[in-house]
Amino acid sequence: MIGAGLAGALMATLLAQRGWTVEVYESRGDPRLHGFAGGRSINLALAERGLHALRAADADRDVLAQAVMMRGRMVHPRAGTPQLQRYGRDDREVIWSVSRGELNVTLINAAEAAGATIHFDRRLEAVDFPAKRAFYRGGGELHRVGFSTLIGCDGAGSSLRAQMHARTGLGERTEWLGHGYKELEIPPAADGGFRIEPNALHIWPRGRYMCIALPNDERTFTVTLFMALEDQGDGDPSFETVPDAAAALALFERDFADALPLIPELVHDFEANPIGTLGTLYLDRWHLGGDAVLIGDAAHAMVPFHGQGMNCAFEDCVALAGHLDATPDLATAYAAFEAQRMPDATAIQKMALDNYIEMRDLVDDPGFLLQRELELALQARHPTRFIPHYAMVTFMRIPYSLALERSEIQRRILEDATRGRASLAGIDIPALDGAIEQALAPLDAGP
Ligand code: FAD
Ligand code: 8RB
């Protein structure tokens, strides 16, 4: 296996548990010895799909012990008080903020406990597929190691993908979003507690740009500013028009006034942290016969706005393990994995792009809020048929492609029923029964 990041460490655990001989090559050092790369505390939102995969590796308890519950989105308007919009019906329908570094260490420990061997400081450089030999750089040397098959978990910039591509084209295509991001930090309050509501994912929606903040268990928040990379000529800020800390301070004074006093090191953070770029990676093929297969970001990197990149990568691990259980022939297993998961990856990639619009622009829009209200009323009336879009993606494990298909039908029903209305009061809800029963077959509602 190439990469002991999130998918690599989980995949290694699942395969070692099944009795495979697993050797993992990771370009970075052992995070248990050196601390996490970069040193910054980066957190991720863990949802049901990822949690279910962690259960399969028996790692869920350790991970949740260090997680912070997020009940909903806390929307910060330009003026006025922030409002919490719950993600689910109650505290069983929540997401969890987890530290990437801690999560990775937990999974590396699980992989080793299951019998996998992880070789740190070993970067894949080249693969000789006909001879089944891989070359890893580390400790100033090039190491040549034979393999029976390679599983690529080496992230969005995958070296294995490049090696596979050189052998047979994979049909690789990246669509850049044109927006980038910058990470900032809210430290703990003077008394050591959280400075703002801990059990929420905070959003400052501003139309075509936004900030978000996720809680860390050490009582800080990681804030991410998302905006266009280049000036669009529309008067909105961009990383081109906000090139330095002084401009960032002015932007926060104008647009994120309630966040500014929470980020005392804004000048330092803005100058020290790089601008990240965002894009969606599409491939026509994920495997090379039985010689190599790609999973996670290496196969289908996506924009972050649904918080599903890791969740999807973890779901890949369980799916691939299942296909390897079903047949001893690797080429057959890899082909079945690709056939199952590619439509789902494409679906969540699309939904992630759509959720940027929702987060940055719609969460404080009255028409959108009315649709959310109607969604909940219809869920109460048709609990197995009408399940809100966010719930299908986040709290269920139905295929992403099915969630997308049903969301599109539901969105049409919601738009038609709320058009020209200001409240639920005038909407004839029973009149929607026929359309719902006809277009949406019952689903098993439990996660
Ligand atoms: P990675 O976790 O990136 O792991 C790749 C590993 O391969 C790394 O350890 C790397 O060092 C190693 N590697 C790379 N090249 C080589 C090589 N040549 N040889 C050997 N090893 C190599 N997803 C969510 O679901 N929810 C979130 O809230 C969320 N938040 C995110 C926040 C940030 C700031 C970022 C950047 C991403 C976020 N994601 C989130 C996405 C998530 O991090 C990824 O989808 C997920 O990590 C993919 O796992 P992976 O194992 O495929 O790749
Ligand atoms: N990658 C998230 C959501 C959906 C929230 C909602 C959104 C930061 C980089 Cl932007 C984002 C979500 O609809 O109310 N759940 O989880 C995580 C998100 O961003 C993460 C922290 C992120 N991912 C490069 C930066």
User: Which pLDDT tens digit goes with each residue over 357-402?
Assistant: 988 888 788 999 999 999 999 999 999 999 999 999 999 999 999 9
> Taking phi first (over 0 means left), then psi (-120 to 50 degrees means alpha), and beta for anything else, what does residue 330 get?
alpha
Nearest listed ligand to the Cα of residue 86: 2
Q: Average of pLDDT values for 186-199?
A: 97
Pair type for strands 292-294 and 150-152: parallel
Residue 447 has pLDDT above 50, yes or no: no
- Residue 360's pLDDT is what? 87
Q: Which of 2, 6, 390 to mutate to test the pocket of ligand 1 (most atoms within 8 A of CB)?
A: 6
Any ligand 1 atom below 6 A from CB of 44: yes
**Closest to 108 measured CA to CA, from 1, 5, 14, 2:** 5
Q: What ligand 1 atom has the least distance to the C-alpha of 3?
A: 7
- Residue 41's pLDDT is what? 76
- Residue 150's pLDDT is what? 98
Nearest listed ligand to the Cα of residue 224: 2
Nearest listed ligand to the Cα of residue 100: 1
Contact 179/223 with Cβ under 8 angstroms? no
Residue appearing with tokens 């863990």: 46
pLDDT band at 40; cut points 50, 70, 90: low
The DSSP result for 22-49, as a single string, is: -EEE-SSPPHHHH--TTS---EEEE-HH
Residue 39 has pLDDT above 80, yes or no: no
Write out the two tokens for 315: 């779901």
Question: How far, in Å, are 1, 33, 130, 301, 349 from residue 173 at the CA level?
Answer: 24, 37, 26, 11, 13
Contact 203/363 with Cβ under 8 angstroms? yes
- Percentage of the chain exceeding pLDDT 90: 94
Q: How many angstroms does the Cα of residue 104 sit away from the middle of ligand 1? A: 10
DSSP alpha helix (H) spans, 85-204: 100-114, 159-167
- Residue 362's pLDDT is what? 84
Can you tell me the distance from the alpha carbon of 75 to that of 259, in angstroms, rounded to the nearest whole number?
12
Question: How far, in Å, are 76, 273, 314 from residue 237 at the CA level?
Answer: 18, 18, 35
Q: What ligand 1 atom has the least distance to the C-alpha of 9?
A: 51
Can you tell me the distance from the alpha carbon of 29 to that of 31, in angstroms, rounded to the nearest whole number?
6
Contact 36/104 with Cβ under 8 angstroms? yes
Q: How many angstroms does the Cα of residue 310 sit away from the middle of ligand 1? A: 7
Q: What is the CATH number of domain 6-66+98-174+278-355?
A: 3.50.50.60
Pair type for strands 43-46 and 95-99: antiparallel
Q: Which of 26, 310, 315, 400 to mutate to test the pocket of ligand 1 (most atoms within 8 A of CB)?
A: 310
Can you tell me the distance from the alpha carbon of 442 to that of 278, in angstroms, rounded to the nearest whole number?
36
pLDDT band at 423; cut points 50, 70, 90: very high
Q: Which of 44, 199, 281, 361 to mutate to test the pocket of ligand 2 (most atoms within 8 A of CB)?
A: 44
Nearest listed ligand to the Cα of residue 42: 1
Nearest listed ligand to the Cα of residue 84: 2
Atom 4 (ligand 1) nearest CA? 5
Can you tell me the distance from the alpha carbon of 407 to that of 392, in angstroms, rounded to the nearest whole number?
9
Q: What is the pLDDT of residues 211-240, one digit of tens each?
A: 999 999 999 999 999 999 999 999 999 999
Q: Average of pLDDT values for 55-72?
A: 96
pTM to 2 decimal places: 0.97
Q: Average of pLDDT values for 251-261?
A: 97
Q: What ligand 1 atom has the least distance to the C-alpha of 299?
A: 52
Q: How many angstroms does the Cα of residue 307 sit away from the middle of ligand 2? A: 4
Any ligand 2 atom below 6 A from CB of 223: no
Any ligand 2 atom below 6 A from CB of 214: yes
**Closest to 4 measured CA to CA, from 13, 61, 168:** 13
| Amino acid (1-letter code) at residue 120 | F
